Structure 1
């Protein structure tokens, strides 16, 4: 009979294609995970992985074995996790990731209440505009949009993400407001350059009636950071197309005003990402439930919409 540690090492290594990533997830060393898998291969008499400098690839036998055992392993771990979660309170370091501005504006203010409710949990925040690999980088959870969902990672949608046109009242003073997205070409624009491709982001705006129209901006400055985009607009440099969470507080304070009200782009959702819904540490479950509760209480999903 195979040990649970051997089977778990195999399944998590298969999900992440890496002994190192599996080790971070299991709280073991990469050498220990590799030994467990090697012992399993010896006991079965088959090779489960092809190993190379680029990572792990399941053999045909490995694919069949993964399909056969992964469901049963999750059931066993689910039972263990349930007993363990009920035995004690959430505790430990909680490694978390979010984009800088969104995290500091909306998530960080939630933390005093979270820490008060769960004093044995230490939130360890990494505020960065890049998307992280939860399994490879050892994160318990992340909040953002557009993350890949490899095996073992799930997402819970928090809100839809709307992109809107904004400017300062000072910039718009004496100017004729654009009536349609195509009219943005007649005004100075602050534009965003994609971090991954290096190209200027192109937007197609829509309205509630379902009409769509591409918009072209006459750039006076281009940046590759959303915080810099907001700051440039606040300095009266032009009209910018920005995500509602980045400008919500400025709109509510009157520092910025909506341009083209009723028009927006919807590139996706803001979601909570975490690993293995069936085997979730109590600290992660507490965080997921708490943030979901806060989004509901603060009505953030509705406030992030364009109207």
Structure 2
């Protein structure tokens, strides 16, 4: 399969923008990638890359060649990999990106059962609050919300995230309970600044009757991290608008209470996303199936939308 390895080096170098990045994805040395690309160029009689000390860019011929072979090479490589895996237990390093707090609260607790079922798989999980380029960065899958999926990606919804108003019981003690989101203007707010826009998040809450109103808290503290917001709310610094996946553990143990039961904002789905390949590596396929199964059994979708988790 020497010719296939040359083509893989070319495609990974083109997608990642450097021989070094391609080498990391292919688990070989940059020198080996460079030699394989050079051999491919010699065999084709065409220069595929313009090389400089700072940049690696495709030539016109390289662009055309990449367009022609990329999809076909992926299909061929998947087929070869699939045949080699058919009679073996799913194995290998499973690289997954997921949000920090979400991963710790909902994914790490699944690890014991997953490893007992698939002992030959080695999870290599990155806890980071961003959407990654799965192919370009060499990930098998990712988990997150607010996705902007590129062509060739598939997303499986795990549940829709609801934003709810929460506070500590000590902060709410002696205060008149708000009856609608507009009443929140009288309360100190622990606000969240969106890391990707720099703006303070604003929400309009809705109830089961379809009534909607803006939740205009009085800014007291501004953070860009939901875990820090949770901590500040538990310290009694004010009311916070939090995604239910972050709030649920603290609502369940009583550290936080719902301030406006029955009111929430729909922030869209949290999803498991992965490449749309007909022949996924076995480690990715069983991981996707396992996560979907576990989240369904644990009724995750209901949990992060429920108005019955805890009430003020």
TM-score, normalization: structure 2?
0.85
Partner residue, 1:81: 81
Between 189-198 and 1-10, the greater mean CA deviation after superposition:
1-10
Give the CA deviation at 1:83: 1.1
Q: Distance in 2 between matches of 1:183 and 1:69?
A: 60
Is contact 1:20-1:136 (8 Å) kept? no
Q: Distance in 2 between matches of 1:20 and 1:79?
A: 26
RMSD: 2.9
Give the direction of change, closer, same or farther, for the CA distance of 1:66–1:133 in structure 2 (3 Å limit). Answer: closer
Partner residue, 1:187: 187
What is the count of residue pairs matched by the alignment?
307
Is contact 1:188-1:220 (8 Å) kept? yes
Q: Does 1:291 align with 2:306?
A: no
Q: Distance in 2 between matches of 1:299 and 1:13?
A: 42
Give the CA deviation at 1:50: 4.1
Partner residue, 2:110: 110
Give the direction of change, closer, same or farther, for the CA distance of 1:127–1:184 in structure 2 (3 Å limit). Answer: same
Q: Distance in 2 between matches of 1:42 and 1:265?
A: 59
Give the direction of change, closer, same or farther, for the CA distance of 1:69–1:209 in structure 2 (3 Å limit). Answer: farther
1:120-159 correspondence to structure 2 within 5 Å: 120-135=120-135, 137-147=137-147, 149-150=149-150, 154-159=154-159
Between 169-178 and 283-292, the greater mean CA deviation after superposition:
169-178
Give the direction of change, closer, same or farther, for the CA distance of 1:8–1:152 in structure 2 (3 Å limit). Answer: farther
Unaligned runs of 5+ in 2: 308-312
Unaligned runs of 5+ in 1: none
Give the CA deviation at 1:103: 1.4
Is contact 2:25-2:137 (8 Å) kept? no
1:235-260, CA deviations, whole angstroms, 9 ceiling, x for partnerless residues? 12111011110011222333322233
TM-score, normalization: structure 1?
0.86
Q: Distance in 2 between matches of 1:237 and 1:129?
A: 25
Instruction: Give 3-state SS (helix, strand or coil) of 1:249's partner.
Output: helix
Partner residue, 2:249: 249
Q: Does 1:173 align with 2:176?
A: no
Partner residue, 2:21: 21
